[in-house]
Structure 1
């Protein structure tokens, strides 16, 4: 069963803008299925998972390109990056948009070659796991905190309670778990084995797969926490430089996302550590050996998983629209925290994430640290510009969309 993907419009739009379209993302999120659904009958399909085809592509890429003429979909391009320069020549020769569709999972190996060979010729789409909008069949749009947008969603989105939310958190975001009768534990065991054996084993900087598995587990235990490399290293039994290197592999393969802190010359007390979120809460639950949604909801990591779930839904809403997620977080040396900040169009909107059904007005007390405020340091010379403070949200287990005060709103988690 095909689950309609929110990113379909973005894929077709970029295919009409560039001669080459690259769809990347974690393993088994449906990259090939998506493109096969969208491609017309004239487009050829070839996968480099086939050893004979891969041998031809690596040994004689020119002959491969004669055999598989555009329009073509080439699956798992990272296995024969020799093809990229020939794709560049073919794209320059024809001048047609969307001639070459390619997919790749091993982003850490692929992106350097793509940027060198196909600069200016490739549109890149990052396909995440399934979002709530895709699973439950309603419209997807980049998340904003504005109450007008949220009110419009009230009639389109079905209310879900605590047990349903945690069943979704525990199950995760992999299409195979929603399209059939795949056993959860068996699926994730196979997923981890495949990731370790086909992606990680090939990397010279990872000599011990079991140690890397332990590191993945340690990272899952730190979801929704600021990154302290010494802590990760101690938990996994590796050095801090190794932990930093291995975390970059998890980021590159879209297993985790790092949220940068919002800091500038005005907010001098803000910490500089990024915040770690596992993007598939089902994979994190598997790694940490949680036995089911009920025990997860009652367990010590219930709040952390809830935060990562909310973050990943907001994060995916931007990726599916083909946009860079404009997400930061705030934490200072006085331990004042704001879980998420949306920064766009000169406005920063604070978001607090609470598992509680009635968080109370204290949930927004740290929003006051944002005034006065300048732009983030990553914007360089613009950082002295003042920004507006927009509508704040407290995303929680409330039953309804309700105002906290004149500037902030309680938002049910099922509404995001």
Structure 2
């Protein structure tokens, strides 16, 4: 069993809030983590995809009131949006009886419905936490390259070999397209959405060109925006926004897009092993997306992420603005002898970051230029996690 780095944070929130929503894509390990929490305190677990558990909640307020002395874990809670009104009443009633914390743990696949319902009815009563698939700090150092190839979903990274891992990811993609997304309501043909998702993988780390994607799929720009919003809301795709400042510089305004899990991106591209990955044109951008996702998975809550690009050629892959308002500039290279381009130095002058780094696949940390350190991924993640 691999201990999730997020577990102490989740336990702390449960000790301080009546309800906590743990959001993340399917199969990221939410249920396993919740059951680990349940083993340490009185709790009951209800899976809202189970017919039997759905039946228990036909009279939800009565049933849940009988278990007010326990932590109630509701899995796939977005399938029962009507529950949120009941939860608000139970939380307020419990507060009057001195039951102020640790009442409900809501697990959801980050659907739009879950976010809207909870924000409307549980404001001031709920805290949100995102569980990503495994990151590099949760695994052994020697597993980092395998993590990049297979991605962080537990069943993929822990598979016996690359072929089994690839098959699991292909099945995961098919299940999402044919079963999970239709259950959320959108009427989108599975094959169309697969093509769109695959196009995003081919364009990993590139500026979003909605017109180009729309022409390739034979749809309009609004439809592309709807498809992208859906995959972003399901935590399957990241839309990295451009940095904005009042400097008067002409800055790029389009976001970059990344398929968040590198293993899913590789499965969409038919990449099954490391040799195929290293020889594929997407290799560099795949590594870039992998580093960005790992950096954001360990960053403190409320850290702002962006990239920088100006019409004058200034460019930086990742800017992290921490809650204390300090900004770190991070350039990413898939090379054991990395070098910086002029664009990064221009970006440094424009942004004036507190610290600057170049992340590369090696392990040594050294100064590569004045004010810039070359650093391995694990060391970089440890520094970012230390900002918490």
Superposition TM-score, scaled by structure 1 size: 0.83
Q: Matched residues in 2 for 1:168 and 1:56: separation?
A: 40
CA distance 1:20–1:233, shift in 2 (3 Å): same
Q: Which of 334, 348, 368 is matched with 1:355 structurally?
A: 334
Q: Matched residues in 1 for 2:359 and 2:15: separation?
A: 37
Report the counterpart of residue 394 of structure 1 in structure 2. 358
Question: Residue by residue, what CA displacement relative to the aligned partner does 1:70-110 show, whole Å, maximum 9, x if unpaired?
Answer: 42111111111111111111111112201111111142221
Report the counterpart of residue 50 of structure 1 in structure 2. 50
Report the counterpart of residue 127 of structure 2 in structure 1. 123
For residue 249 of structure 2, give the secondary structure of its aligned residue in structure 1: coil
**Structure 2 counterparts to residues 14-413 of structure 1, below 5 A:** 14-39=13-38, 40-57=40-57, 59-66=58-65, 68-69=67-68, 70-95=70-95, 96-136=100-140, 158=141, 165-179=144-158, 181=160, 183-318=164-299, 321=300, 323-344=301-322, 345-360=324-339, 362-363=340-341, 365-373=343-351, 388-413=352-377
CA deviation after TM superposition for structure 1 residue 391, in Å: 1.8
Report the counterpart of residue 144 of structure 1 in structure 2. none
CA deviation after TM superposition for structure 1 residue 236, in Å: 3.5
CA deviation after TM superposition for structure 1 residue 67, in Å: 5.5
Q: Matched residues in 2 for 1:190 and 1:67: separation?
A: 40
Contact in 2 for aligned 1:281/1:309 (Cα 8 Å): yes
CA deviation after TM superposition for structure 1 residue 372, in Å: 4.8
CA distance 1:251–1:358, shift in 2 (3 Å): same
Runs of 4+ in 1 over 6 A off after TM superposition: none
Bigger RCO (CA 8 Å, 6+ sep): 1
CA deviation after TM superposition for structure 1 residue 329, in Å: 0.5
**Structure 1 gaps, min length 5:** 137-157, 374-387
Superposition TM-score, scaled by structure 2 size: 0.89
CA distance 1:399–1:106, shift in 2 (3 Å): closer
Question: Residue by residue, what CA displacement relative to the aligned partner does 1:198-244 show, whole Å, maximum 9, x if unpaired?
Answer: 33113444331111111111111122111121122234343221111
CA deviation after TM superposition for structure 1 residue 195, in Å: 1.3
Q: Matched residues in 1 for 2:252 and 2:328: separation?
A: 19
CA distance 1:82–1:290, shift in 2 (3 Å): same
Question: Residue by residue, what CA displacement relative to the aligned partner does 1:106-134 show, whole Å, maximum 9, x if unpaired?
Answer: 42221100101111100111100100111
Question: Residue by residue, what CA displacement relative to the aligned partner does 1:41-67 show, whole Å, maximum 9, x if unpaired?
Answer: 52111111112322453x433344245
The aligned length equals 371
Say what the alpha-carbon RMSD is for the aligned residues. 2.1
